[in-house]
Amino acid sequence: MSSIFHTIGTVFQPIFHLFGWILAFFYGLIPNYAVAIVLLTIVIMGALTPFTVKSTKSMMAMQKLQPEVKKLQQKYKGPENRQILNEELMRLYREEGANPVGGCLPVLLQAPFLFILYSVIKGLANKTAAGVAEPRYIPTGSKMYHNLIASHGQINVFGMDLNLKPFPISSHGSVAAALPFFALVILAVALQYFQMAQMNNRNRKTGQAMPSQQLMMQRFLPIIFAYFYLVIPAAVVLYMIVSTGIRIITQDVMFRTGVSNPHKAAERELPKAEKAIEAPEPTPETKPSTMKPTPHPRSKSKRKRKA
């Protein structure tokens, strides 16, 4: 197993150095580790935001299709129709441009960045066998490098070493010193739950049905990530807090502008559709006649007698 991690680490070495250089650059502008991590997170989320938008649209399309999905499930009941049901569902998803696993895309895309940032943070606090600080992945002439040497490898921000985890508490010296680390974990979990509930609450207001997969994700993913946040450095938890906050803002902007709202999208398309519908050409039956009516011969004789 160690050989596998060593191989993966060797492949990612150039990326580690790239992220370390960006982190050191931001630290050189504002000498604060937390600020540097926040700025790096903004850069990463700027690259991931298009995928977040696509994922949100896909989830909205899935929720819009729930009535059709239920009809198909009622039509093809029983295990003997399972294959036909799956084929019909996939056909429906393709036609409507929906992706059943689209909501998992941001979480899946976060995984490599978490691994990279975790490795870079561990490299910042690297020490030799003699206990001497020896930061890795950042330029040796940078201000961050010299400050880490002076602090003996501690990533100190407001009295917190961001390289530490909540457990073990003995590493903090006291329970009081460990409380801020648990507070970061709670904040990260709460934001992630809110980000998922933001989508679900909006769907309830619009009267759309909730996919069971999305409800399950809202309930269980925060619990899984809570454990994950307890075993990674606080600097990586800070990254998750900022990235989740950016996703919440992105979704809110999409909801307010109607990018992901099928009702508003339909309202925007309605005028176009009305213009496209032209008045039907008059048929010979409905076309008004321009010819003058021919007078009846008796009417002429009557006019003569009157005269």
What residue has token string 């008004």? 288
Q: Which domain holds residue 131?
A: 2-50+111-261
Q: What pLDDT is recorded for position 197?
A: 83
Q: Mean pLDDT of residues grouped by 10 in the chain (307 residues)?
A: 62 91 96 96 90 78 79 85 87 78 68 90 92 93 95 93 93 93 95 83 63 67 88 94 92 79 46 48 51 52 49
**CB neighbour list of residue 239: distance below 8 Å, 6 or more residues apart:** 37, 40, 41, 113, 114, 117
pLDDT score for 266: 44
**What span, in angstroms and rounded, lies between the C-alpha atoms of 118 and 124?**
10
Q: Examine residue 229 and state whether it is found in any structural domain, yes or no.
A: yes
80 inside domain: no
Report the alpha-carbon distance of residue 150 to residue 56 in Å, rounded: 45
* 176 in any annotated domain: yes
Residue 269 lies in a domain: no
Torsional sign, CA 116, 120, 121, 125: positive
Domain annotation covers residue 106: no
Compute the distance between CA of residue 81 and CA of residue 75 in angstroms, rounded to an integer: 9
- In terms of Cβ atoms closer than 10 Å to its own Cβ (0-12, 13-18, 19+), residue 161 is buried
DSSP state of 259: T
Segment 274-293, tens digit of pLDDT: 444 444 555 555 455 545 55
The answer to the question of residue 293 being in a domain is no
Task: Kindly state whether residue 88 falls inside one of the protein's structural domains.
Answer: no
pLDDT of residue 218: 67
**Angstrom distance (rounded) from CA 135 to CA 24:** 11
Residue partners of 154: CB distance under 8 A and separation at least 6: 125, 148, 161, 163
> Pick from 131, 144, 109, 132: which is nearest to 34 by CA?
144
Number of structural domains found in the chain: 1
Question: What is the tally of helices (H) and strands (E) in the chain?
Answer: 12, 2
Q: Write the pLDDT tens digit of every residue in 239-266.
A: 999 999 998 998 888 888 876 554 444 4
Task: Write down the pLDDT at residue 22.
Answer: 96
Judge whether 165 lies within some domain.
yes
d(CA 145, CA 155): 11
Query: H/E element holding 160?
Result: strand 160-161
